[in-house]
Structure 1
Amino acid sequence: MRKYEKVVNEMKTTVHIISHSHWDREWYMAFEKHRMKLVELLDTASDLLENNENYRSFHMDGHTAAYDDYLEIKPEQKERIKKLVQEGKLTAGPWYVLQDEFLTSGEACVRNLLTGRKEALKLGKLCPIGYFPDAFGNAGQMPQVLAQAGMEAVAFGRGVKSIGFNNETLEKGTYETAYSEINWQSPDGSTLLGILFPNWYNNGMEIPVEPEEAKKFWDKKLADVRQYAGTSQLLFMNGCDHQPVQKDLPQAIETAKKLYPEIEFIHSDFETYVKAVKEELGENISVVKGELTSQETDGRFTLVNTASNRIDLKQLNRKGETALERKAEPAAVLAGLEGKKYPKELLEYSWKVLMQNHPHDSICSCNVDEVNDEVAIRFVKSRQVAEQLCKESMEYLTEQIDTSNLNSENGKVLPFAVYNFTGWNKTDVVSAVLDVDRCFENIQEKAYWEMQNIKLPVFVLKDAEGNIVDAKIEDMGTAFDYLLPDDKFRQPYMARQVRVTFEAKEVPAMGYRVYHLQEAEAKQADDTKTLITGSNTMENENIRVEIHEDGSYTLTNLKTGRVYSHIGYYEETGDIGNEYIYVQDTNGQAITTQNKPAKITLAEDTPFCAKYHICQSIEVPESAAKELEIAQKSFQECYNRHIGRSDKMVELAIETELTLEKSSKSLKIQTTIHNTAKDHRVRVVIPTGLAADTHFADSAFEVVERNNRHSKQWENPSGCDRQQSFVAMQDEKDGMLIANHGLYEYEVLPDMENAIAVTLLRCVGELGDWGYFPTPKAQMQGTYTLSYEILPFADGERLDVYTLGYQFQNELMAVPTGIHTGVNPQEKGFFNWTGEGVNFSGLKQQENGSDIMVRFINVTELPREIEIQKQSWMEKMYKSNVIEEEKEGLEVREDGMYHVVLKPFEILTLGIR
């Protein structure tokens, strides 16, 4: 490893000053208030760039959303902005927004990159530098994603410990670096030059013009940067959060040149700086591998607890991502194969509205309440479009199905199709609401009673082969609805409806199966079948669940005999932190539901499903002690607070619904919390008893293995981590996976039987950071329902349960239809593939073309092969990348399959023409 002093002696020092403003679209002020400042910023920067030849560049924070926001106010400035971008004076992209990397999905990351790239190129030039100045840690697969996108380097601020040149004892592959220049390597081996901001991205802000002040400034700042720089190219970031343009920067640079004639000072940009670094950089810089989450630091800088505040917004994000990437896009692709136009513009709009919530402050909910209010509205707006697109695509597909053999000569027949867009065959309980009859005339009171007085026939459920399927069929009464024909005025009607609920088995991946209700002379299903095997006990062929008097439960894996005792209890603790940081109150006492009586009720007992309802309540302090308000207003650092909890107690009511389905390998849980307290956190605790030192967590395009215990340097009293779809742990014989819907924070508790604690609710009263910003809505008063599932597994089954964990994110969907002819059979899969250890990630149409793009992720350390069955619609298949360029073509083998080998941890995108 080269010494910095040697570099100084060999080459002249060059100081690269990059002007920028880290532009959070919203944060401590609402979006529109920030936008007013953005308009001012870009007007000023544009004037300087046009009229002052010595002010040569401004870095617009690595995202194009800022230009959208600006041009919406000043559309007449578009040509001016384009000219400045084309000349390299303003930078654009590569991102649409500066997203958080752990709370947004891998597919959302790719859409972010595709959108930012597209908009930057429309403006005239793409900045080829990945940029994460303030991301709260960095996901391990980002070098691979950015390398596939052709980026030259990546700049970031958090997640790595900078140790400077007083400590040269680095071990290869640690989370430490002696240099601000590193090689950041993804698990697959993809490596990208990383530029760390060890002195933060404001180390060159407000540079003095007056010589005396400038001398003090530069003496200190040069020493600070030289402590970490591995070359003679020194980086100074001239800006900070929402920093106005420094108009007198050219004069400040002239002052610096006179003070330090031996140093070259230039008003630079990232491309110039990175090129100079690469030309000089030696071989022996640090290699930092995988995710950057402050593992070898005190653990406070990556702000992991932003994963658990405003859990309602986190759930909305997961719903929004699922609605787009796991429903609307694949449904539109399949409908497109049958002739329906792919709704590219509407999907792009829905994605952009969703991604406007993905900047690190927005998605991390570390904002004032009025920002979080707008975030919630955007989530709903985006999902409305996605859900409607999915509905229209499924209806179109359903119209192509031949149901003509389901004649109604022997009574009423009500067909419907069940769709599966998860990427694998799926078995799950699904419900469909079907119209037995409709009345389009006199739809006010008369039509209602006409429908309501219909005597419903006895129905049985049958599958596509005519086999009777166990089902629960309920009379739903009469409901109003309407049709919106393409060529007619709206058509309102009253309908008499029934709801059928059943277990749909092995619905084809990226496909459907038709079922139908048929009128019968008598009920033919056997209602005596049950999953209830004793008092407060239920089981299927895979697992047994026994519920205890305190509401906890024991889960037995019937395949292995492994028993997980008294799991699923709730823990409540005080929280005197803020939206960024969890800090337990000084007393440090946890209140749990253990050994407290619960009310247990059998809620459902059918041949295909059993369900228990559990009611519990605990007495908890109403809030933190009153000293917390003073600490907040006086801006006391939250780690230094010594504050207890209120003496006043309130009731915290918790309802739990445990569901076991006939063919399932998992126990599904819904927890509803009626929150009456403030300044606290509620978690579900699941002791695993597994003899393991590590665990696995789903992340963006990766299942990462993490240590159960943090490093010795870890000082943060919170040991929480972030997850996407699931967290899992395994010993030599058994394992357990816990999947979730929008619950991004968990903690492994090694001293409590290796328990996995999943955060369900975290309630705080202030934003935190640099001032006092109260956030009363972040106290989460009200009722919240959280969903998760527990999957026990045996040695060798971990990769299989990963699939089930991913599938938990996306339910089967049912679409009613009529009896008609069609070109498709009553069961069909449009995309059939196999491959162990590989995650099916996305199916969409090409960004700038009509090819179909499909993405797979090898989540293991071994090469994995996938086989894709050639379908009639597949003319050509080729390897691509995340920006959807056509690469190497693939050939079909004699067995009618495309065979593709994925390297360890590879993100593989395929194009299909």
Structure 2
Amino acid sequence: MTASGVSLSQISLTLERLRQLTRVDVQPCWNNFLSEGIVSRVELNARRHVAWPRQQNVELIQNIIVPTTLNNFPLTDLSLRLVLRWWAEDVQIYVNDQFRQAGDLFDCSTRVLLSESVQPGDQFTVRLRLVSPKHDDGGLVQSICVYETLAADRVDPGFLADELEVFLIAITQTPSYRNQRQEHLNFLTTLLNKIDWLALPEFPQKFDNSLIALRQTLIDYISTNLPNFDSKIALLGHAHLDLAWLWPVAETWKAAENTFKSVLSLQQDFPNLIFTHSSPALYAWIETHHPDLFSQIQHQVQTQQWEIAAGLWVEPELNIISGESIVRQLLYGQLYTQEKFGQLSPIAWLPDSFGFCWQLPQLLKQAGINYFVTQKLRWNDTTQFPYSLFNWQSPDGTEIISYMSAPIGEGIDPVKMATYTAEWETQTGLKTALWLPGVGDHGGGPTRDMLEVAGRCQSSPFFPELGFSRAVDYLSEISQQCGELPVWSDELYLEFHRGCYTTHADQKRWNRRCEHLLYQAELWSAIATLLTTAVYPKAELEAAWKQVLFNQFHDILPGSAIPEVYEDANQAWQDADNTATQLREMALTAIAAFIPLSPPPQPDFQPVLVWNSLNWSCSQGVELPLSSPEAWRLYDASGKALQVQVCRGKLRFLATDVPSVGFRLFWLGRKMAETIETSFSEAENTPIQTDAFANFNTSIPLIQNSVNLNVNSPQTWVLENEFLKVEIASETGNISQIWDKKNQREVLSEIGGNHLHFFEDSGQYWDGWNIDPNYNQHLLGPPQLQSISWQECGDIQWRLQVVRVWRTSEFIQDYVLEANSPVLKIETRVNWQERHVLVKAAFPLTVPVDFAYCEIPCGVIKRPTQPQTESEKAKWEIPALHWVDLGDENYGVSLLNDCKYGYDIQPNQIRLTLLRGSTWPDPKADLGIHHFTYAIYPHVGDWKAAKVTHRGYELNQPLQVRVPSRESCQFSEQALDSNSFLNVPSDSLILMAFKQAEHNSQAWILRFYESMGEKTELKLDNQFGLDIAHSVNLLEQPIESPSFPQISPWKIVTVQLSNNSELS
């Protein structure tokens, strides 16, 4: 052992000896209270915990008697606290039969004051009633009696030990003293050897004097030999409040009320206390239900004792929501903060979200935010994130100062705080750290004991200087001190919680559906307002958006909450869905009644309007539900009969070249002269093409009486159009071959594709959050094929149904190939009944490549298929939005989806994660019925040339077909058969929103993002007489944009439009 090692060992033994004078471990002294008068001594497990099984109660009792001395140190007149830590869902603490305190999984430690001045022989009967969690064994983790003194003429040995350890941390762990480390260690060792241990117990004052002398000598030594012994810790009270998690939302409101009242009360006694909190959604609830409390908070904000770190409406999941959802989190969060507190929040406070998409810096900066704060990457399971303070750069080049904070939910622990401060100084070179004391997750905030301990530490010359500060003041100060920061130009991937891309698939489907519905509702409502007398439904849209934004909270959308949370969430999703659908239909009806249509080719023809909400021309198969579809034909605007396909009460046809944000007119006419009974009332102005949302609690009705239309060979199952020839294996139902006819090449490897891979996925403590890292080693058997049958086989669409069973779960998959489409869709219905099983759809390909391209909010990220570094290897499950593409500049294959987010990639394989079966925190997560679609898109060229982003949007926002009544329509010989209301002739610009401006009902907001990483130009054609007034940020404030209308790569662009006459 080195000299340094010997010194450290000696010092550590001495510090522990000092602590044992005033601190005694009473963990083994608990008894199980079985009934009155009957107890049994507890047994400690290997970790020295008192443990008991999950979902059970335990009552522990202990009689504490104050001795005259502890290791010969006199205890008379010292205060006594019982320090407890536990892992339990509910805790009640009684002292001498008086209730003293409650706790839970998150308020999981305390220092119970038993006496302010003890005398030998004092007795305290402590009783604990504990309830273990539903998902885990319970545990009493720590029980220590701590005797303390604040008397000026005495030195507290335990507190002195903490002071000395803080000094030891400073001289051994900070770069300032690296060269003199051994010298300082030798001095401290020599000093500690002068403690007069032999004076105890007979001469306690002599012993105290030796400690006083030691302390003063060390103070003098620091003053003379350590000129840079001047670290600081800025304190900021905090209470992380999960809006829903292991409790329902209603409980959160109560926790918030109690937390805020507690903070305000403490600020009366500790006026230096500064507190911060995020989430305007929570403040809005307080404002509505407790206006007096809200007024007090507003006052504290004005006096700078309360900081509003509320840049986003909630602290959301930020990997799997759309770019526009992030915009609305920022827009509604900042607008509320500005209106209610007179300021914008300069901080994105996101301590607990499960990773962060690469475009977040650009989005934050465009919403007036200058600082990004998290601590979640400290949870990484593989690598340590390299920076604590850095510039995070988006793909467009935007940078934001980013801060990896200290852990949240901590108390005032001088040793832990000093350790963190030393680490911070080593990483950044800065001597001022930020610490966030306060009970979190379920609220609580700072406690009185924390603040009293902080006051005691502040009076010590050994501890870093303590003082409360707002986060914005701290971040502003260090950003000026730090010089040039390292740059991180990538996503912030959390190496943990990878199952959250998949768990609770119903929430993911609801989210995707509502995001696209709200886009359509706003778009068509804006157009209806501009064209007709319709009134823009601003309040209704905002309310629906806020329901969606709330459900994007980082423990709701990821699927990591209890069942009661999803009862509330599902109602909110449904309400938002209903609102958006109703507003869209009202707008389309108003537009259809306003626009002049060309006269019908025949007097009795019914108009059919096909609507396109995307900003490029689309061609897709659409369908009309009719009571007797075989009795009708479809015609184009000139009266030419079109090819149709009839199946199960629906008339299917191909709608080609439907213009950008526009419509194309078709006509429905009788096929025969006699009267045909049909019900247009069911079809009229109803959402025909949108997928019906799955009922997750009913069984799947199997298709009966299906007809095998392949009369030549019942064992050959082939779907074919001008682009693809797809063969389905008769033995398994997998795809055995996809032949790209245009490019004359096979798409899949020789083993075929759409293999359903089932894996055991168990053993993870964070069950709903985490996939077993070794799941690939636990491949289970394949599904059993039940049947293959043709559902449709015609000129418009081929549809082949495969039914497979795995254990007690049923997979019904329709392979769908439309005319004029290079995309093979796999429409899936599953009755999922598995627990701790993971299922993926695998597509081994013939295109071995080094990188995959994945859609993220407002962009695309390139990820390696052959990871080299440990951090790359940790990304064995990755998030993506509509698609992942495996290919190079010559050829590629995309795997699209309509509500899935988890993928894994290899050089020649893509797998899409379909479902999981976790049991905590929701025992029945994902059980029941699921509807989803994924699709294979082979293409020549890279993902840009193939317009993969367009294909993803087309799968998620298909064309809409409506049959307005003839009486509601206007007809004119000069009318157009199709029309684009809004057109931007750029393949790389994706329309994110077209809406009324927030503060000017005569102005309109248009938002795009550049989607291919290329320069382009914004050219706008519209039917409303609108011109671009100026560029604005995400808060719709005017900004300078010198290069406009040139758009740089990956840029998010928002402009305000006004009528031509208003601009002149």
Common fold, TM-score beyond 0.5? yes
Q: Quick one: which of 423, 432, 443 aligns to 1:233?
A: 432
The 1:457–1:859 alpha-carbon spacing in structure 2 relative to 1, beyond 3 Å, is closer
Moved more, 781-790 or 662-671: 781-790
1:247-258 to 2 correspondences below 5 Å: 247-248=447-448, 249-258=450-459
Q: Quick one: which of 741, 753, 761 aligns to 1:575?
A: 761
Match of 2:531 in 1: 338
**Shift of residue 367 of structure 1?**
0.9
Residue type of the alignment partner of 1:228: Q
Q: Quick one: which of 241, 250, 258 aligns to 1:23?
A: 241
Match of 1:483 in 2: none
Residue type of the alignment partner of 1:186: S
Match of 2:788 in 1: 600
SS of the residue 2:525 aligns to: helix
CA distance in 2: counterparts of 1:138 and 1:545, whole angstroms: 38
**Shift of residue 475 of structure 1?**
8.7
Match of 2:42 in 1: none
2:232–2:431 Cα contact (<8 Å) kept: yes
Match of 1:623 in 2: none
The 1:11–1:470 alpha-carbon spacing in structure 2 relative to 1, beyond 3 Å, is farther
Match of 1:461 in 2: 634
Q: Quick one: which of 978, 984, 987 aligns to 1:836?
A: 987
1:5 matched to 2:164: no
Q: Quick one: which of 626, 641, 644 aligns to 1:471?
A: 644
CA deviations over 1:360-416 (Å, ceiling 9, x no partner): 11111111121122222221111111111111111111111224722764xx32213
Match of 2:501 in 1: 307
Q: Quick one: which of 684, 706, 720 aligns to 1:539?
A: 720
Match of 2:274 in 1: 57
Match of 1:156 in 2: 374
Match of 2:738 in 1: 555
CA distance in 1: counterparts of 2:893 and 2:349, whole angstroms: 36
1:821 matched to 2:970: yes
The 1:531–1:400 alpha-carbon spacing in structure 2 relative to 1, beyond 3 Å, is farther
1:293-692 to 2 correspondences below 5 Å: 293-294=493-494, 299=495, 301=496, 303-325=497-519, 327-339=520-532, 340-403=534-597, 405-406=599-600, 409=603, 412-433=604-625, 458-472=631-645, 499-521=650-672, 535-549=716-730, 550-553=732-735, 554-565=737-748, 566-576=752-762, 577=764, 578-583=767-772, 588-593=777-782, 599-618=787-806, 650-692=807-849
SS of the residue 1:912 aligns to: strand
**Shift of residue 150 of structure 1?**
2.1
SS of the residue 2:472 aligns to: helix
1:562–1:734 Cα contact (<8 Å) kept: no
Match of 2:84 in 1: none
1:758 matched to 2:912: yes
**Shift of residue 684 of structure 1?**
0.8
Q: Quick one: which of 399, 406, 426 aligns to 1:191?
A: 399
1:162–1:180 Cα contact (<8 Å) kept: no
Q: Quick one: which of 471, 474, 487 aligns to 1:273?
A: 474
1:726–1:739 Cα contact (<8 Å) kept: yes
Percent identity, please: 22
The 1:532–1:397 alpha-carbon spacing in structure 2 relative to 1, beyond 3 Å, is farther
SS of the residue 1:506 aligns to: strand
Structure 1 unaligned runs (5+)? 164-174, 208-213, 436-454, 477-498, 524-529, 619-649, 768-774, 892-898
CA distance in 1: counterparts of 2:418 and 2:877, whole angstroms: 40
Match of 1:200 in 2: 407
CA distance in 1: counterparts of 2:236 and 2:931, whole angstroms: 47
1:117 matched to 2:309: no
1:748–1:755 Cα contact (<8 Å) kept: yes
SS of the residue 2:1026 aligns to: coil
1:291 matched to 2:477: no
SS of the residue 1:259 aligns to: coil
The 1:29–1:685 alpha-carbon spacing in structure 2 relative to 1, beyond 3 Å, is same
Match of 2:317 in 1: 100
**Shift of residue 217 of structure 1?**
5.1
Q: How many equivalent pairs are there?
A: 783
SS of the residue 2:507 aligns to: helix
CA distance in 2: counterparts of 1:413 and 1:728, whole angstroms: 44
The 1:107–1:130 alpha-carbon spacing in structure 2 relative to 1, beyond 3 Å, is same
SS of the residue 2:899 aligns to: coil
CA distance in 2: counterparts of 1:507 and 1:162, whole angstroms: 47
SS of the residue 1:26 aligns to: coil
**Shift of residue 806 of structure 1?**
2.0
SS of the residue 1:149 aligns to: coil
CA distance in 1: counterparts of 2:775 and 2:578, whole angstroms: 45
**Shift of residue 749 of structure 1?**
3.3
Match of 1:795 in 2: 941
2:723–2:741 Cα contact (<8 Å) kept: yes
**Shift of residue 271 of structure 1?**
1.1
Q: Quick one: which of 76, 79, 87 aligns to 2:295?
A: 79
Residue type of the alignment partner of 1:588: Q
SS of the residue 1:333 aligns to: helix
SS of the residue 1:603 aligns to: strand
CA distance in 2: counterparts of 1:726 and 1:457, whole angstroms: 37
SS of the residue 1:551 aligns to: coil
CA distance in 2: counterparts of 1:706 and 1:533, whole angstroms: 46
**Shift of residue 69 of structure 1?**
2.6
1:242 matched to 2:442: yes
CA distance in 2: counterparts of 1:287 and 1:404, whole angstroms: 59
The 1:242–1:505 alpha-carbon spacing in structure 2 relative to 1, beyond 3 Å, is same
1:34 matched to 2:252: yes
1:806 matched to 2:953: yes
Residue type of the alignment partner of 1:107: E
The 1:863–1:191 alpha-carbon spacing in structure 2 relative to 1, beyond 3 Å, is same
1:841–1:856 Cα contact (<8 Å) kept: yes
1:570–1:592 Cα contact (<8 Å) kept: no
CA distance in 1: counterparts of 2:327 and 2:346, whole angstroms: 15
Structure 2 unaligned runs (5+)? 1-173, 179-225, 675-708, 1059-1064
1:858 matched to 2:1010: yes
2:984–2:1020 Cα contact (<8 Å) kept: yes
